[in-house]
Amino acid sequence: NKIANQILIIFGASGDLTYRKLIPAIFDLYKQNSLPEKFSVLGVSRTPFTDDSFREKMKEGILKFSGLKPENEDELNKFCNILHYLPINTAESKDYSQLTLRLDEIDKNENTQGNYIFYLSTPPSLYGVIPKYLAAEGLNIENNCFRRIIIEKPFGTDLKSAIELNSILKEDYKEEQIYRIDHYLGKETVQNLLVTRFANGIYEPLWNRNYIHHVEITAAESIGIENRGGYYDHSGALRDMVQNHLMQLLALVAMEPPMSIDATSIRNEKLKVFQALRPMKDDDLFKNVVRGQYLPSNTNGNYYKGYREEKDVAKDSRTETYVALKLFIDNWRWADVPFYIRTGKRLPTRVSEIVIHFRPAPQNLFPGQEIHKNNDNQLILRIQPDEGVSFQTKMKIPGSGYRVKNVNMDFHYSQLHNVYLPDAYERLLLDCMMGDPTLYIDSGALEATWKFVQPLLDFWKNNTEAPLYGYPAGSWGPENADRLIEGENKSFRYPC
């Protein structure tokens, strides 16, 4: 596919995302010859870099974080020549004329034909501001060229603010110009969900309430909140992980087969899943939700700070660093099948996975063998790390009688030789360059997912007695979470 020449303008270019993710991803695309023939990056932010000092800083980032390291200094320098920098105050409308001038200059030199992607990697307070100022300069107008805008999460902090932001953007941009990013959708293994489900004939007949007993979706992280207290203390796990990443995984697991693998068909099917989520009512908010916050602990000889001791976190904060939910999708395929969603910081390990638990065999022909208990047939879709798919089935232990054992049929991506797993940002940036929004979030899905979590946000805000359980840093979260899933011969899977 020949990709049109273009310029990528990154707002917030002195920030961590640009350094760790965006520029290394662009470098990796460069290494694979995937960039357009003429392509430039213009970094924009307040920090007073020059082109040269910006390039030096980005070189460091590439050496540390790119997946395909440069072979030598020359290669790195050659790549860095496509990087430019403009220091302006992006909150000031008057500074935008400088941006227009600089873009005109690069556009003319590089023959990029006015094709611009604006990437907003700034504090969210600027998401409504920058697009307005760009529009005031006419930089939203597609006149024989394209103008796209990529917006990082968080897209809004609740339903109301998400709707407001959507309507501000829609004043100046068409929906096709807006790319709302959720980096989980750029992960290879997340896209593999579509292939696993829809390129195989064997799963679809089983993929429903008749054969699936319940589904677990887990995103565990061993890290704490790092230096992001200022953001995280106003966000919490529900906004940070559930409303976006985990809801997207849920939709891919639960959606109907799309008409085709194009943006509209996939988005339509995902939206139907969100619309079928059973709204959480008063009782569910107590019964089907457990939130937690990590406490200081000494684990394996290491001291881990508690959440309230972290930098920029209120000493009496009630922000959740862990949340587990039991939810239902009220449609024909999934009626009454529980979905358990869990995520948390400072858990024992980093793992994201989806586990499909199949119903047990109808009758136990092997007395004494606990085939009906928790060790059911499981399909485990491992998103990260050790990406792969594992199917847990039962086998006879050789010898007399019938002793039954669980065995795994495993596939690990690492077994594929010479296969490079691209970073999520690499795939997503490339898609936007090509004008393919399939892996981006549309306004319908965005508002539907906020609508689902909103009652919980309100409940926590308005009820100081709503339980918040402490859990020692390095543990699997509040013990109380087990009650969500207990009682039906099952428990959460605790991967190591």
Binding interface with ligand BG6 (CB under 6 A): 153, 221, 240, 352
Tell me the torsion sign for CA atoms 439, 440, 446, 452: positive
CB of 406 to ligand BG6, least distance (A): 28
The residue among 282, 241, 277 whose CA lies nearest residue 455 is: 282
Task: Please give the Cα distance from 323 to 478 (Å, whole number).
Answer: 9
What lies within 8 Å, CB to CB, of 7 at 6+ separation is 39, 40, 41, 42, 103, 106, 107, 110, 112, 115, 116, 117
Both tokens of 180, joined, read 């709302």
- Judge whether 272 is annotated as a binding position: no
Of the two residues 70 and 154, which places its CB atom closer to ligand BG6 in the complex?
A: 154
Whether residue 291 is annotated as binding a ligand: the answer is no
Q: Tell whether 345 is in a known binding site.
A: yes
Residues that are catalytic: 245
In contact, 305 and 318? CB cutoff 8 Å: no
DSSP per position, 293-321 = EEE-EEETTEEE--GGGSTT--TT----S
- Closest to ligand BG6 by CB, 14 vs 218, is 218
Nearer to ligand BG6, 133 or 179 (CB): 179
* Residue in 313, 332, 335, 109 with CA at minimum distance from that of residue 224: 313
Give the end-to-end CA distance of the chain in Å, rounded to a whole number. 41
Contact predicate 57/43, CB 8 Å: no
187 is in an annotated binding site: yes
Chain position whose Cβ is nearest to ligand BG6? 240
Would you give the distance in Å from CA 381 to the centre of its chain? Answer: 16
Nearer to ligand BG6, 158 or 221 (CB): 221
Task: Copy the structure tokens of residue 328.
Answer: 């239902």
Would the annotation count 221 as a binding residue? yes
Considering the complex, what minimum distance in angstroms separates the CB of residue 191 from ligand BG6? 14
Q: Return d(Cα 290, Cα 304) in angstroms, integer.
A: 22
Specify the residue, 240 or 442, whose C-beta has the smaller distance to ligand BG6.
Answer: 240
Is the distance from CB of 8 to CB of 51 less than 8 angstroms? no
The minimum distance between CB 293 and ligand BG6, in angstroms, equals 15
Was 56 annotated as part of a binding site? no
Q: Cβ of residue 41: shortest distance to ligand BG6, in angstroms?
A: 22
Q: How far is the CB of 221 from ligand BG6 (least distance, A)?
A: 5
78 is in an annotated binding site: no
Binding site as annotated, residues for substrate: 183, 187, 221, 240, 345
Pick out the residues of the known binding site for NADP(+): 46, 153
